[in-house]
């Protein structure tokens, strides 16, 4: 097995990710392509502006209990909203 990066131009909102991959790599039958969620989100233009996020009490409490690199309440609010959007639950 080999893991090979595909070097593309900077992905912009609305970019055709499939076309970019085909332009910058050659694929063979059986190849597996992994795309980062960040690249997909940028191409699909589903970015979240944390500066405009309305932070809930739950997100603030969650951020206060974490000792990780991302304790930002706005980031936690984005996680809550995306989880609910996908009909998920936070335990």
- Tens-binned pLDDT, residue by residue, of the chain (91 aa): 888 899 999 999 999 999 999 999 999 999 999 999 889 989 998 888 889 999 999 998 888 887 666 678 998 899 888 888 777 666 6
Query: Dihedrals φ, ψ of 87, to 5°?
Result: 60, 35
CB of 11 closer than 8 Å to CB of 17:
yes
Global pTM value: 0.60
């Amino acid at each position: 097995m080999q893991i090979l990066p595909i070097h593309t131009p900077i992905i912009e909102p609305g970019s055709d990710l499939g076309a970019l991959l085909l332009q910058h790599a050659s694929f063979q039958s059986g190849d597996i392509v992994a795309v980062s969620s960040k690249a997909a989100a940028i191409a699909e233009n589903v970015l979240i502006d944390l500066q405009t996020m309305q932070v809930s009490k739950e997100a603030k409490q969650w951020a206060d209990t974490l000792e990780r690199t991302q304790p930002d309440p706005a980031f936690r609010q984005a996680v809550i909203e995306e989880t609910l959007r996908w009909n998920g639950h936070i335990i």
